Structure 1
Amino acid sequence: MRRLIDCPGSAQLVAAIAALRSQGLQADRYCFSGWAPRDRFAAFSAEVARMATQLQPGLTGSAIAPERFTSWLGRSLSALEQQQLRQEIGLETVDELWLATGWRPKEQLLRQLYPTARCLCYGDGLGVYVAADSVLQQRRGWRSRLRSWWSPATKPLPADGGHFIFSGDRQPPFPSQPVPLSDLEDCLHTLANALPTQAIASLRQLTAQREWGVLLTANLSEQADGAYISLTAEIEAYRQFLADQSLPSALLLKPHPRDSATKLQQLTTAIADLGVEPLVLQDSQLAFWPIEVILLSLLPDLQGLPVFTVSSAAVPLQALGADVQLGFGAAIVRRQFTRKGQRLRRHEEQQLQRWLQVGNGASNPRL
Structure 2
Amino acid sequence: MSDPKTIKRLIGCFGTIQLITALSVLKAREKEQHELNLKYEDYLIVTPLFAPQGQNEEFAAFITKMAKSIHSWENIVYLSLNQTKSITEQIQRYGLLEVAPFFHELVGIDEVDEIYLARTWNLENTILMNVYKSAEKICYGDGIGIYFSHAAFLPDNPKIDSLKSLYNHIKKQIKDLLPRKEVFQKQEFDIGYFSLPYAFGEVPPMETVVLDRRIYLKTFQTLRKSLDKLVDFNYIKNLQAKICTESVSIILTSNFSEASRIPLEKEIIAYREFLESQKILPNSVLLIKPHPRDSKQKIAQLKSVLSDLYVDIIPLVEDFLFYLPFEVLFMELFLRSDLTKLQNPRIFTFSSASLTLEFLFNVECTIGFGSEIVNKYFYSEHIAGRLKHELDLLSTVGKVRNLIAA
Residue 192 of structure 2 corresponds to residue 162 of structure 1: yes
Which deviates further from its counterpart, 343-352 or 290-299?
Answer: 343-352
Partners in 1 of 2:65 and 2:44 — Cα distance? 12
Partner of 1:3: 9
SS in 2 for 1:133: helix
Superposition map of 1:88-99 within 5 A:
88-99=106-117
Superposition map of 1:258-277 within 5 A:
258-275=293-310, 277=312
Partners in 1 of 2:74 and 2:251 — Cα distance? 33
Which deviates further from its counterpart, 77-86 or 66-75?
Answer: 66-75
Partners in 2 of 1:211 and 1:170 — Cα distance? 38
User: Is the alpha carbon distance of 1:233 and 1:46 closer, same or farther for their aligned partners in structure 2, counting shifts above 3 Å?
Assistant: closer
* Per-residue CA distance 1:222-248 (angstroms, 9 max, x = gap): 223xxx321121111111111121445
2:43–2:73 Cα contact (<8 Å) kept: no
Residue 208 of structure 2 corresponds to residue 194 of structure 1: no
Q: Following TM superposition, by how much is the alpha carbon of 1:365 offset from its aligned partner in structure 2, in angstroms?
A: 4.0
Partners in 1 of 2:65 and 2:297 — Cα distance? 30
Q: Following TM superposition, by how much is the alpha carbon of 1:203 offset from its aligned partner in structure 2, in angstroms?
A: 2.9
SS in 1 for 2:319: coil
User: Is the alpha carbon distance of 1:61 and 1:203 closer, same or farther for their aligned partners in structure 2, counting shifts above 3 Å?
Assistant: same
Q: Following TM superposition, by how much is the alpha carbon of 1:277 offset from its aligned partner in structure 2, in angstroms?
A: 2.7
Partners in 2 of 1:317 and 1:164 — Cα distance? 16
SS in 2 for 1:213: strand
Which deviates further from its counterpart, 156-165 or 6-15?
Answer: 156-165
Residue 383 of structure 2 corresponds to residue 316 of structure 1: no
Partners in 2 of 1:10 and 1:292 — Cα distance? 11
Partners in 2 of 1:187 and 1:171 — Cα distance? 26
Partners in 2 of 1:264 and 1:192 — Cα distance? 26
CA RMSD of aligned residues (A): 2.9
* Per-residue CA distance 1:173-217 (angstroms, 9 max, x = gap): 111101110111111121122222234234324434322121011
Question: Which of 195, 210, 233 is equivalent to 2:266?
Answer: 233
Question: Which of 42, 46, 62 is equivalent to 1:32?
Answer: 46
Q: Following TM superposition, by how much is the alpha carbon of 1:44 offset from its aligned partner in structure 2, in angstroms?
A: 2.7
Which deviates further from its counterpart, 81-90 or 301-310?
Answer: 301-310
- How many residues get paired? 356
Q: Following TM superposition, by how much is the alpha carbon of 1:79 offset from its aligned partner in structure 2, in angstroms?
A: 3.1
Amino acid at match of 1:341: H
Superposition map of 1:264-303 within 5 A:
264-275=299-310, 277-300=312-335, 301=339
1:203–1:281 Cα contact (<8 Å) kept: no
Partners in 2 of 1:104 and 1:177 — Cα distance? 23
Which deviates further from its counterpart, 155-164 or 85-94?
Answer: 155-164
Which protein shows a greater Rg?
Answer: 2
Question: Which of 66, 69, 72 is equivalent to 2:87?
Answer: 72
Percent identity among equivalent residues?
27
Residue 377 of structure 2 corresponds to residue 345 of structure 1: no
Partners in 2 of 1:155 and 1:229 — Cα distance? 36
Partner of 1:218: 254
Q: Following TM superposition, by how much is the alpha carbon of 1:58 offset from its aligned partner in structure 2, in angstroms?
A: 4.6
* Per-residue CA distance 1:276-314 (angstroms, 9 max, x = gap): 532111221221210111111212248543210111111
Q: Following TM superposition, by how much is the alpha carbon of 1:317 offset from its aligned partner in structure 2, in angstroms?
A: 1.0
Partners in 2 of 1:306 and 1:203 — Cα distance? 17
2:375–2:383 Cα contact (<8 Å) kept: yes
SS in 1 for 2:365: strand
1:305–1:321 Cα contact (<8 Å) kept: no
Residue 68 of structure 2 corresponds to residue 53 of structure 1: yes
SS in 2 for 1:296: helix
Question: Which of 117, 126, 139 is equivalent to 1:121?
Answer: 139
Residue 79 of structure 2 corresponds to residue 86 of structure 1: no
* Per-residue CA distance 1:90-131 (angstroms, 9 max, x = gap): 111011110012222211110111111121100112221112
SS in 1 for 2:18: helix
Partners in 1 of 2:365 and 2:332 — Cα distance? 19
SS in 2 for 1:52: helix
Amino acid at match of 1:66: L
Q: Following TM superposition, by how much is the alpha carbon of 1:156 offset from its aligned partner in structure 2, in angstroms?
A: 4.5
User: Is the alpha carbon distance of 1:366 and 1:176 closer, same or farther for their aligned partners in structure 2, counting shifts above 3 Å?
Assistant: farther
Question: Which of 159, 178, 182 is equivalent to 2:214?
Answer: 182
Question: Which of 97, 102, 106 is equivalent to 2:124?
Answer: 106
Residue 268 of structure 2 corresponds to residue 250 of structure 1: no
SS in 2 for 1:323: coil
Which deviates further from its counterpart, 36-45 or 111-120?
Answer: 36-45
User: Is the alpha carbon distance of 1:338 and 1:52 closer, same or farther for their aligned partners in structure 2, counting shifts above 3 Å?
Assistant: closer
1:102–1:120 Cα contact (<8 Å) kept: no
User: Is the alpha carbon distance of 1:91 and 1:59 closer, same or farther for their aligned partners in structure 2, counting shifts above 3 Å?
Assistant: closer
User: Is the alpha carbon distance of 1:233 and 1:37 closer, same or farther for their aligned partners in structure 2, counting shifts above 3 Å?
Assistant: closer
SS in 2 for 1:359: helix
1:14–1:184 Cα contact (<8 Å) kept: yes
Amino acid at match of 2:44: Y
